Structure 1
Amino acid sequence: MTSDLFEGSTDSSGYQPLAARLRPHDLDTYAGQQHLLAPGKPLRESIERRQLHSMIFWGPPGVGKTTLARIAAEAADAHFLQLSAVLSGVKEIREAVAQAKQHKASGRDTVLFVDEVHRFNKSQQDAFLPYVEDGTVIFVGATTENPSFELNNALLSRSRVYKLRQLERAELEHVLQRGLEALPGMQASTECLAMIAAQADGDARRALNLLELAADLAEQDEITQATLEEVLQGSLRRFDKGGDLFYDQISALHKAVRGSAPDAALYWFCRMLDGGCEPLYIARRVMRMASEDIGNADPRALSLALDAWQVQERLGSPEGELALAQAILYLACAPKSNAVYNAYKLASADVDEGDSEEVPMHLRNAPTALMRDMEHGEGYRYAHDEEEGYAAGENYFPAALSERRYYHPVDRGLEKRIAEKLQYLRERDKTSTIRRYD
């Protein structure tokens, strides 16, 4: 087995992307993550004292997960092995462990870095456990996904999770300045570097790739705004469909609607569209918001959400997105109630946990003479023939559940009037001389 399998090519004579050439080799040149690496922080102390432990680096692309693992290994004078969960399997894991055992026998630790560790299935993750447990390897995993969902509990319990953040604009501009210095003779204004930093969206690798592409297209060794307009056209912000960023942003949209913050809701809607989210997915979630957070406080919200969905389906862009924006703003401004949502959960819990109660005889269907002879429908009171169209004292539950109350309207919007109506009907029940199940 060659070292290339784990460490990449050692041939420096060929082309290397700018991002690879500028990879930091120590903490002093590493950009960002000051919440973890500022003087006195535990991770920095661990690296500087050469006391490494197994860890998971969780964060978006291009924030330095691989670089940080390499810096930690170099600082501890540990052998560095790298696996990609996309390209590797149990065979490569075994070969890496065999290398680590050889180094362990000679008194040297091994940092085994696994990129995109969330792509390993549970049994592949289990393969690391004995060697993490006995110290054969210092395990460092990198993931863009939430480790609590994607990694085995056993592996998580043996590792410390560090959350890496996207780089700030100022940090990206500093990285880009270093990149510019590595391009002999190339010039760019601070405004141009700021434009690249804005489009890189917290991703240092992406920032340097954009800088390198701009340098390739630049005339007379100067990156201008005209150059950048060509490079940056159609550039999308980080969204990661199906990943944490996806769910974080739809969560922010939903909570802004629930919190009656129309401007914030519109911002998150536009962010998701900008990131390439399918508008019909948002339309479906808006329908959910209409029922879960507005409900009967304003039933028009559900109709408007459905109308917006149909506009998106029938007309597409841009009319569909505008209709969705209208629905989102309406929902955010509407009176809020989760009474329907709560009632549904309570009723579902009774059904899930309870017995299969019989339908009371007076409520049963009686389409045939045999069923009528068996007293199906006997004693049923036809509400339309009752005073005010209401059969006071009647009960429509199974006998064992006759006092259940699931729906508790709030004192907002239309539900305020619904609550008054229900209270009036219940008072009539109390005073009725006919009381089913009494």
Structure 2
Amino acid sequence: MNRRFGPPRFRTPYRHPDLLDVNRDAMRPLAERMRPVTFDEMVGQRRLLAEGSALRRAVEGGHVHSMVLWGPPGCGKTTLALLLARYADAEFRAISAVLSGLPEVRQVLAEAAHRFAEGRRTVLFVDEVHRFNKTQQDAFLPHIERGTIVFVGATTENPSFELNSALLSRCRVHVLEAVAPDDIIVTLRHALADESRGLGGQGEGGSKVSISDECLAEIARAADGDVRRALTLLEIAAELAADEGGEITEQTLLQVLADRTRRFDKGGEQFYDQISALHKSVRSSNPDAALYWLARMLDGGCDPIYLARRLTRMAVEDIGLADPRALQMATDAWDAYDRLGSPEGELALAQLVIYLASTAKSNAAYAAYKAARRDVAEYGTQEVPMHLRNAPTKLMKSLGYAKGYQYDHDAEGGVALDQTGFPNAMGERVYYQPVERGMEIKLKAKLDRLRQVRTDARRKPGGE
């Protein structure tokens, strides 16, 4: 083919290496560009990383250890791992348990072993480490023991439940917390002012991006403790504001924050923490707090039917016979939600939560049942006393079934006071101890009287 008439050939223009680095930096998200490179740039985690803290002194001195970092998204787990490698002058390698399998893990460990033989350490950062199964987690153990790697696992889930004990025994668990809004604002201001990594000088005509303190605080609150999320929201707002003179206004934020969501994991640690908070608020007779946690869970996408089931459990466990109406209200609210669906049916659950938290409480029935179960386990299969057995046939009557049984309706007062209802080997037991609250006040008075009369009847001559 004549080259003159062939397809056009393009030559890649020469670019200076420094210019390539600048362009690559500009393409990186703001949250990545603003990642702290020293401890002084990190915000939040004062308990763990304050000046003079044990962990900070060890890291700044280059004495790093294998660890598991447990905390919510955007709290600084990856940044802390990078700082470990930086201060220890070690190679930093990162893998994700979501994307990596055992072959890649073995390759990274082999590279770390080769590097270790040459006298260099490797900080191996494993993101979402709880997603690795037991076999994959075990692959790290010998390398941690030999010092081939400094293992840093990051997880948003409770390590006690998600990581095997062998791995936990070789690592120290450090708990990181969600970053407070005031600390997030510090990071946002830094990003607005930084001209090399941040948004400084990037407005129209080279002017800085401007934003009011109120709008900055709104971004910090919307980030919900996640610094990375806050910087992403700021970057999007700055891009939208570029056509408005570089000023981020309330109207700009209405577009950016329209679809914001709160942190909630339907099957993880936050889920169980919040349902625990709801249950304990009901138990503590705090309807306002209980209503807040109900709204939080519904807002986070929790299945309302699950909440209806748990609220019914609370009606039985924590209200019990102090207010028998609570159980009926719980099943009615469950049925109402089943018929109405969301959002109308959620009001029935809210009404139930307020009632459960406001009414009298008693766990006496719950405690009584647990006590009875303990005796069942301890005494095993006890024979039913003869006087309590049914005798529908002549043979059974001849064997003594139902012998000595006293028909309560024929007894004085409607109760046969001198017969037991327990197996002979056990004797009388008392499981149910009503509290002096709600309906159980009357139940307690009646049962206390009956129990005392029964005791007196058994003590009389001829009594059992």
Task: Please name the residue that 2:440 is paired with.
Answer: 415
Task: Please name the residue that 2:15 is paired with.
Answer: none
SS in 1 for 2:104: helix
Task: Please name the residue that 1:376 is paired with.
Answer: 401
Superposed counterparts of 1:288-299, under 5 Å: 288-299=313-324
Verify the 8 A CA contact 2:457 2:463 in the aligned structure 1: no
Task: Please name the residue that 1:354 is paired with.
Answer: 379
Post-superposition Cα deviations, 1:351-407, rounded to whole Å, max 9, x if no partner, equal: 233311122222223344444444333333222222222111221221122222211
Task: Please name the residue that 2:33 is paired with.
Answer: 21
Alignment equivalent of 2:49, drawn from 37, 48, 52: 37
Distance 1:422 1:130 in 2: 64
Letter in 2 for 1:258: R
Letter in 2 for 1:142: A
Letter in 1 for 2:191: G
Distance 1:19 1:179 in 2: 9
Letter in 2 for 1:101: A
Q: Judge which range, 48-57 or 272-281, deviates more.
A: 272-281
Alignment equivalent of 1:94, drawn from 95, 106, 118: 106
Q: Give the Å deviation of 1:437.
A: 8.8
Distance 1:177 1:75 in 2: 26
SS in 2 for 1:365: coil
Greater Rg, structure 1 or structure 2? Answer: 2
Distance 1:215 1:394, change over 3 A: same
- Gap regions ≥5 residues in structure 2: 1-20, 204-208
Alignment RMSD (CA, Å) = 2.1
Alignment equivalent of 1:273, drawn from 298, 301, 321: 298
Letter in 1 for 2:125: F
Alignment equivalent of 2:128, drawn from 116, 126, 133: 116
Superposed counterparts of 1:244-393, under 5 Å: 244-393=269-418
Superposed counterparts of 1:419-430, under 5 Å: 419-430=444-455
SS in 2 for 1:388: helix
Distance 1:290 1:435 in 2: 45
Distance 1:286 1:107 in 2: 60
TM-score by length of 1: 0.92
- Gap regions ≥5 residues in structure 1: 1-9
Letter in 2 for 1:35: R
Verify the 8 A CA contact 1:90 1:124 in the aligned structure 2: yes
SS in 2 for 1:24: coil
Distance 2:453 2:410 in 1: 16
Distance 1:330 1:236 in 2: 29
Alignment equivalent of 2:81, drawn from 52, 61, 69: 69
- Between the aligned residues of both structures, percent identity stands at 58
Task: Please name the residue that 2:70 is paired with.
Answer: 58
TM-score by length of 2: 0.88
- Matched pairs, number: 429
Q: Give the Å deviation of 1:39.
A: 0.7
Distance 1:110 1:436, change over 3 A: farther
Distance 1:435 1:337 in 2: 38
Alignment equivalent of 1:199, drawn from 218, 222, 233: 222
Distance 1:333 1:165 in 2: 33
Q: Give the Å deviation of 1:342.
A: 1.0
Task: Please name the residue that 1:7 is paired with.
Answer: none
SS in 2 for 1:111: strand
Q: Give the Å deviation of 1:313.
A: 1.3
Distance 2:63 2:348 in 1: 57
Letter in 2 for 1:71: L
SS in 1 for 2:454: helix
